[in-house]
Amino acid sequence: MSFQSHNHRQCIKRGVQHATDQCEKAGLQLTPIRQRVLELLLTEHRALGAYDILEKLSEDGWKSQPPVAYRALDFLVQHGFAHKVERLNAFIACTTPETNHNPAFLICRICEAVAEIHPQLSRGALGRTAKDAGFVIEQAVVEAEGVCPNCR
């Protein structure tokens, strides 16, 4: 859980390693830009906007235009290495890439930290209501905003 103090260097390392392995296995290209964007996302448990990413890329010497950031982010999201937080129009590295994915997010409105969690929603009230309505859920955005334990 990203709210708790933890060895953060490990998060970054694990994230990159997992993406590297996954891409290797699936024949995907974790190109320098894609890897760099993933690293940038992994450096904080906070959601970054595409333009934040762009700015950081340009600090690295990449003088990139918006599509570059969006393409890299799309790639990462598409393959589960990152997620989009709709509430913030921003992106965050996946912190549980091993887990089967129906991520939900806890967003602290004070420190902006974001934690990825995995409640079993489909079995709960939402899934039941949808089923009763004859609605087939393909994807669910679940984002709770509030105050994290550290900011209380």
- Burial of 96-130, coded b for 16+ CB within 10 Å and e otherwise, reads ebeeeeebbbbbbeeeebbbbeeeeeeeeeeeeee
DSSP character string of 19-43: HHHHHHHHT----HHHHHHHHHHHT
Query: In the structure encoding, which two tokens stand for residue 24, read together?
Result: 């290797």
Which one of a copy of itself, DNA, none interacts with residue 33, CB within 5 to 8 A by kind? DNA
Which one of a copy of itself, DNA, none interacts with residue 112, CB within 5 to 8 A by kind? none
Residue 145 beta carbon to a copy of itself: minimum distance, rounded to whole angstroms? 5
What is the CA 64 to chain-centroid distance, rounded? 22
Which one of a copy of itself, DNA, none interacts with residue 29, CB within 5 to 8 A by kind? DNA
Q: Using an 8 Å Cβ cutoff, are 70 and 49 in contact?
A: no
Which is nearer to a copy of itself, 32 or 124 (by Cβ)? 124
> Comparing C-alpha atoms, which of 74, 79, 110, 109 is closest to residue 91?
74
Residues that bind a copy of itself (CB under 8 A): 1, 3, 86-87, 104, 106, 108-109, 115, 117-121, 123-126, 128-130, 133-149, 152
Q: Which stretch binds DNA (CB under 7 A): 8-16, 27-35, 96-104, 142-150?
A: 27-35
Which one of DNA, a copy of itself, none interacts with residue 92, CB within 5 to 8 A by kind? none
Give contact residues for DNA (rule: CB under 7 A): 28-29, 31-34, 49-51, 62-68, 70-72, 75, 89-90
